[in-house]
Structures are given as C-alpha cells and as structure tokens.
C-alpha cells in the first residue's frame, strides 16, 4: 500500500503500542520497530517522521538501549517521548541525571504555544508524567518549550532540525491535549496528510491477498468473532471459492454459540465446515491449570485440526487467521515483554503443515477491524459482536477445565450478557464477560450451608484494547445480575465485580 508512514522506535516502553494507536487515529500509518532494527528500516523506508518511545532504562546505565546517532543527520523529523527525549539529549551533548524527586501522574505544565508542537493549545496544561530521570542540560541549538515545578526542561525543541522531545506522555488520555500535540507533530512538522484510510486498506489488502495466494487454496480459522468474521469476508472478496472456512467447536464456546456461528455462515456463500472437537480438546486439557500452557495446547490443537481437515478436502496451501495487532504485541514481538501467548501467535506450534500464513488484519487494532468490517459490508451484528478470545472459556475457567465447570460458566455468562443487553449497555461497555474462579466459599441458601464457586464479572470500556478502564455498571443492574445467577445457576454462591483497569491488569484473567 502506497502511503505516508511514521516509524516508532521501540525502546521497551509500556506505552509503545498506544503511541501507534494514537498516530493511526490521525489516519497516518505507522509501524513499531525494535530499536536494534530500526535504523536500517528507517534508511530503507525514509518515513515522514520518527518517534522514540519511552523505556524503563536510564541513558546513563552501562548498556542502555540506543540507536545510531546518524539518525539525527537524516533530515527526518524526530519526536522523543520520556526515555526518547532523554536519549536525544544525551546523544547530542546534553545531560541527563537522576532527579531529586520523582514526577508521576497528572502534572500542571506551562507550554510555549509559539512552538509548532504546541500550536493552538492551552498555555497552562495537564500532562501525564512517569519518570525519575531528568534532562538537566539541553544540547546545543535546543530550547525549552515546556516546564513544570520539578522539570525545568519538560519539553525541548530544535526547530531548525525538527527534533523534539517531551518528558511526559502525550499518547495517554490523562494528557489533556496530547492527541492534538501528536497531530501537530504529524501534520505541521512531518507534513503528513492523513492518507491511511480503511477504503485504501481494503483495496491494498485484496490485491496483496490475490498476489500472495495466486491459484492456491486457503483455510480460514473461523470462530465467528469479529476478527475472524471480518477476515472471512475480506478473503471471500479477494479469492472467492478458493477459501474454505473451518469452524472448530472446541467445546469452549459460550452458550449456544456453536450453533449460532454455523447459522451465520453455513449459507453465506462461503465454503463452511464445522468440526465438533469438544472431547478432543478437553482430553488434551485434563489436569492443566497454568494459563500459558492452556493457551499453547489450544493453539497447537487448532493447527492439528486444520491440518487434518485440510487433507480431507485436498491440497491446501495457506492457513488464514484473524490475528490483529494487540495479539502480536501481547505475545512479545519486538522489545515488548510477553504478557500472554495468543493461540494464533505465540501459541503456534513450531511445525505447521502449510506453505504459509495469511493474516490480513495483523496490522490493525480492534476498532480498525470493526471499521474495516463496515467498509466491506459485513453484517452489523457480526461487526459489533462481543470480543471473544481464541482459547474461549478455556481461559475464563481458572485452574483445571472440566465440562461441569464450563457448563456452569456458560449459564452464568449468558445471564450476565442478557441483562447487559436488556439494560441497553451492550455498546457502552466494550467488553463484558464472566470468569469462574477456582475459589470456593461458604454460603447460605435457605436453611442450608453451601460451599460453592465464586464468579467474577468483568466489564471494560476502551477504544483500542491496549488500555482499558473498568465499566461503571449501575448498582441496580449488578444486583439483578447477581440475583439471577445465584438463583438460576447451580454451584455459584458468590459474585464479585472486577474494578481493575488495564494496566495494571489485562482484560482477560488468564
């Protein structure tokens, strides 16, 4: 796809992918590249701009993450964020030291609104700080463009060379006008025009799929979720009946979901096959309690099923998956730590009996996938279906998985989703689900003592699924949900509601 691009150099910062999402929101394409590979990529691609991310290291450590200083002579605008700013200062002759006091959280900041980076913003602003190192001396030809009570140089600029640094994080929502700061960098400093759109992406993706697949046959792992449904529609547009969609019912689906997926796709014009593999998966998962092991077992078994089904229908050349960008990031690609292995990324077995993988959504965030679905005309109820992880309820049953536990969770989760829908909150809460914990506690029902499971309810609001806030569900609705579940579902006598945001938690429990 021919488009303008920003390269984000990842120094291991926790917000690296949020930066990418914010750039995409301004319709500018970007890639996150590990710092060890970034300089060569930048020389080859000649992007419109470069962003250095934050990171946990200090520039004065013995071997901190660095990039070739030749990057400053390429004539490409650069923005350094937190560690990125400190690295620029250190590389170009400034000084970075451990501060007398740490600066964390919401911070009142004075901006130089004559700088193009802060163009048309409020002079007194709120930003989000998260650092203990500070730039104490600017490099030559740099000037201070923002300050706080603790940071004399909260932001710096070399306007002539278009190199900027900010000690705070403009990419997070807590920085009030951070989104506009990034827009100023992208449009006014880098000269971007916003040519990254789903309309353009669809055309490019279809061409790329056709070019790669040729006359080959493709198997798609179709779960019926948003990602795989959009993937199925896009692949159908590109290669038609060269595509076979295989729905593996692994017995870890929500209540009635297997039948619903089959009803949605069986007569849609796609080649659709349903494989009932419940017993096979549950046998593989017997006695397994560790979340990463569960994910990898489920991922490997998925591939084995696809290989077997592919052989039944003749020669199959490619496996297609609805992998999206957060899946890739959380599975530890680049400099990021492995948070959890996704069954279709980190959970893939080493040997896959296909020529290759087709992953047309791999560069997209969840909201971009929904936008793409609408662009290609996918049914609205599929575009806005509740997100569901590939391992399904296998990672929503804490500890060992049994059919009995799955059935308990299915019934409880159904009630939860039913009441959220009745309350008209299904669009307001981006994801909501129940988790059957391994905790059991004493309860009283009627005149009898019970010793049953604790069920956790989770609800979050988010735009990108890289960060999320817990949903403020009204108490009366939570009360109704709790009463129904305890009254209608056997073996649950206690309900708790998860009020943890992401980070520090993830959206799923496992």
Q: Are 225 and 329 in contact (CB under 8 A)?
A: no
Sign of CA dihedral 497, 502, 507, 510: negative
Q: What is the four-CA torsion angle of 500, 501, 502, 505, rounded to 10 degrees?
A: -10
**Catalytic-role residue among 82, 190, 192, 245:** 82
User: Which letter, b or e, does each residue of 212-232 get, where b requires 16 or more Cβ atoms within 10 Å of its Cβ?
Assistant: bbeebbbbbbbbbbbbbbbbb
Token pair 């077997």 is at which residue? 308
Q: Are 165 and 154 in contact (CB under 8 A)?
A: no
448-461 and 469-470 strand pairing = antiparallel
Q: Which residues contact 111 (CB under 8 A, 6 or more apart)?
A: 118, 121, 122, 123, 124, 125, 145, 146, 155
Residue 171 annotated as catalytic: yes
Could you give the CA distance from residue 419 to residue 415 in angstroms, rounded to a whole number?
A: 6
**Catalytic-role residue among 103, 171, 335, 359:** 171
Residue 400 annotated as catalytic: no
- What angle in degrees, to the nearest 10, is found between the helix axes of 366-375 and 198-213? 80
Residue 415 host element (H or E) = helix 403-422
Residue 82 annotated as catalytic: yes
**Catalytic-role residue among 153, 162, 169, 343:** 169
Could you give the CA distance from residue 204 to residue 54 in angstroms, rounded to a whole number?
A: 32
HSE toward the beta carbon, residue 48, CA cutoff 13 A? 21
Backbone φ and ψ of 45, nearest 5°: -90, -25
Could you give the CA distance from residue 96 to residue 82 in angstroms, rounded to a whole number?
A: 12
Residue 444 host element (H or E) = strand 431-445
143-147 and 155-158 strand pairing = antiparallel
Could you give the CA distance from residue 362 to residue 372 in angstroms, rounded to a whole number?
A: 13
Catalytic residues: 82, 169, 171
């Amino acid at each position: 796809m021919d488009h303008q691009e920003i390269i984000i150099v990842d120094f291991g910062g926790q917000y690296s992918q949020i930066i990418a999402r914010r750039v995409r929101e301004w319709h500018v394409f970007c890639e996150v590249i590990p710092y060890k590979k970034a300089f060569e990529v930048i020389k080859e691609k000649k992007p419109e701009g470069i962003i250095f991310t934050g990171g946990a290291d200090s520039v004065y450590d013995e071997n901190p993450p660095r990039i070739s200083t030749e990057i400053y002579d390429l004539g490409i605008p650069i923005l350094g964020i937190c560690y990125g700013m400190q690295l620029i200062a250190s590389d170009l002759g400034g000084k970075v030291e451990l501060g007398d006091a740490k600066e964390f959280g919401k911070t009142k900041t004075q901006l130089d609104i004559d700088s193009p980076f802060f163009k048309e913003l409020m002079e007194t602003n709120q930003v989000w700080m998260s650092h203990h190192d500070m730039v104490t001396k600017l490099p030559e030809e740099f000037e201070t463009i923002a300050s706080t009570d603790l940071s004399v140089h909260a932001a710096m600029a070399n306007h002539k060379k278009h190199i900027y640094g900010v000690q705070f994080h403009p990419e997070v929502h807590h920085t009030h006008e951070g989104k506009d700061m990034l827009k100023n960098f992208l449009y006014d400093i880098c000269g971007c025009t916003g040519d990254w759109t789903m309309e353009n992406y669809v055309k490019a993706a279809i061409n790329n799929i056709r070019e790669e697949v040729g006359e080959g046959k493709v198997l798609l792992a179709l779960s019926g979720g948003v990602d795989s449904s959009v993937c199925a529609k896009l692949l159908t547009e590109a290669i038609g009946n060269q595509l076979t969609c295989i729905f593996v019912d692994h017995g870890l689906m929500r209540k009635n979901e297997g039948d619903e997926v089959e009803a949605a796709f069986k007569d849609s014009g796609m080649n659709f096959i349903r494989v009932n593999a419940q017993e096979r998966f549950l046998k593989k998962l017997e006695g397994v309690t560790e979340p990463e092991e569960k994910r990898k077992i489920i991922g490997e078994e998925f591939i084995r099923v696809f290989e077997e089904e592919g052989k039944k229908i003749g020669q199959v050349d490619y496996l297609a998956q609805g992998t999206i960008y957060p899946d890739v990031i959380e599975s530890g690609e680049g400099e990021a730590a492995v948070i959890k292995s996704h069954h279709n990324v980190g959970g893939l077995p080493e040997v896959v009996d296909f020529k290759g993988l087709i992953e047309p959504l791999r560069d997209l965030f969840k909201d971009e996938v929904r936008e793409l679905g609408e662009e290609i005309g996918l049914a609205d109820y599929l575009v806005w279906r509740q997100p569901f992880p590939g391992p399904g309820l296998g990672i929503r049953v804490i500890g060992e998985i049994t059919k009995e536990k799955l059935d308990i969770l299915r019934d409880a989760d159904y009630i939860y989703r039913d009441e959220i829908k009745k309350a008209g909150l299904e669009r307001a809460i981006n994801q909501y689900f129940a988790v059957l914990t391994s905790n059991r506690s004493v309860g009283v029902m009627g005149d009898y003592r019970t010793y049953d499971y604790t069920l956790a309810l989770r609800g979050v609001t988010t735009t990108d699924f890289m960060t999320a806030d817990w949903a403020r569900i009204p108490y009366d609705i939570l009360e109704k949900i709790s009463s129904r579940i305890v009254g209608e579902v056997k073996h649950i006598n206690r309900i708790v509601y998860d009020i943890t945001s992401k980070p520090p938690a993830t959206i799923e429990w496992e």
